[in-house]
Amino acid sequence: MKMIHTADIHLGAEPDVGYPWSKERAEDIWNSFRHLIQVCKKEKVDLLLIAGDLFHRVPLLREIREVDYLFQTIPDTQVVLTAGNHDYLRKGNYCEGYSWSTNVTGLWQKSCQKAVFPELDTAVYGCSYHTQEMKENPYKNAHPFGDQTYHILMAHGGDEKHAPFSQRELAAAGFTYVALGHIHKPQIFCENLISYAGALEPIDCNDMGPHGYMFVEMKGGKAAARFRKSAVCEYRLLEEKITEETTQLSLEQQIKEQIHAEGENNIYHLRLTGERAPGMEFDLVSLGKLGRCVRTRDLSHPAYHLEELLEMYDGTLIGAYIRRLQGSEGVEKKALYYGLEALLEAKR
Ligand SMILES: [Mn+2]
């Protein structure tokens, strides 16, 4: 039996609002979901589990109809849905009352319920959010029962305000596989047993690294699960090492080449480190426009030769200042450089 475990699709989200690529990202999310449906069809996936937050917020009827249309195109795949904390079942959420395509099962109850798929020899357990937060853990007493070979739990949350379950509890409950949702970073807690599929596409600029879904094969009573990368883009850290020789134009060239090598479609957190020539100031706004950059930070510091400066300014306020902070690390070192820059600037 082949299964895809996904969660946190967040249809309707518009990442990086205010940036030129924001609309495109919103479309990417829909396209990525559509692509996942095609994968189900092409690879004859038996079971598609969506462990909460299929929608970014309580969905419009129109959005439900679009999603259901896609599910209709994979009649040989059983789809199981639960509502997460973003698309929770408040009044006016049509998910629960909607007459979904016959291959779709919604586990809409507040407490864990079981759905059986006899032709797959499988039972799926799960429940839905009816409020934005759920401080009680509804999966606490969930355990497999009945004579199916495969027992799968779908669970959304895992932090203090969202079904605070523990990995150990889940591992001990006896399920064949536990499909988690809510945390956007893909994480395998327990090899072939418990994992967060992560968001299908990164939703927020802090969703760093690769995204995709879990592909799970059930065989001989066991699950074999692996992460498959499928997202259109990634948020990445782009660290540029600055030296005394670095100029604005050389740095621009360096950044362009790196973005070209890593992918123009990715979105970058640009960070300058190292030592810049004293007096050098980089135009961060221009640097940020060389690619899709969400955050640009200059963490470099001026390349002061402290010994030389000390000789030059010994007996003055600047000299005393250098002596006081020399050999410092971390925040203190940073303070030394800021202070020194100000003092030298005043001197000039
Ligand atoms: Mn969530």
Q: Spell out the domains of the chain, with CATH numbers in brackets.
A: 2-229 (3.60.21.10), 236-347 (no CATH)
Measured in angstroms, how far is the CA atom of residue 303 from the centroid of ligand 1? Answer: 45
Give pLDDT tens digits for 230-288. Answer: 999 999 999 999 999 999 999 999 999 999 999 999 999 999 999 999 889 999 999 99
Cα 202 to ligand 1 centre (Å)? 13
DSSP 277: P
Alpha helix segments (H runs only) across the chain: 22-42, 61-72, 167-172, 248-262, 284-288, 306-313, 317-325, 330-347
**How far, in Å, is the centroid of ligand 1 from the Cα of 59?**
14
- CA of residue 345 to ligand 1 center, whole Å: 50
238, 259 in Cβ contact below 8 A?
yes
Per-residue b or e along 187-220, where b marks 16 or more CB atoms closer than 10 Å to that residue's CB: eeeeeebbbbbbbbbbbeeebbeebbbbbbebee
299-331 burial code (b ≥16 CB/10 A, e <16):
ebbbebeeeebbeebeeeebeebbeebeeeeee
Relative to beta strand 187-190, strand 194-196 is antiparallel
What is the CA(119)–ligand 1 centre distance, in A? 31
Q: What's the gap in Å between 51 CA and the centre of ligand 1? A: 9
pLDDT at 306: 86
Distance 133 CA to ligand 1 centre (A): 10
Using the mean position of ligand 1's atoms as its centre, give its distance from the Cα of residue 145 in Å. 27
DSSP 162: B
Percentage above 70 pLDDT, the chain? 100
According to the model, what pLDDT value does residue 81 have?
98
One digit per residue, the tens of pLDDT, for the chain of length 348 reads 999 999 999 999 999 999 999 999 999 999 999 999 999 999 999 999 999 999 999 999 999 999 999 999 999 999 999 999 999 999 999 999 999 999 999 999 999 999 999 999 999 999 999 999 999 999 999 999 999 999 999 999 999 999 999 999 999 999 999 999 999 999 999 999 999 999 999 999 999 999 999 999 999 999 999 999 999 999 999 999 999 999 999 999 999 999 999 999 999 999 999 999 988 999 999 999 999 999 999 999 888 888 888 898 988 988 888 888 888 887 888 788 888 888 887 876
| Cα(264) to centroid(ligand 1), Å | 29
- Please tell me the distance between residue 157's alpha carbon and the centre of ligand 1 in angstroms: 6
CA of 48 to the centre of ligand 1 (A): 18
Distance 334 CA to ligand 1 centre (A): 38
Note the Cα 159 to chain centre separation in Å.
15
HSE on the CB side for 136, CA within 13 Å?
Answer: 10
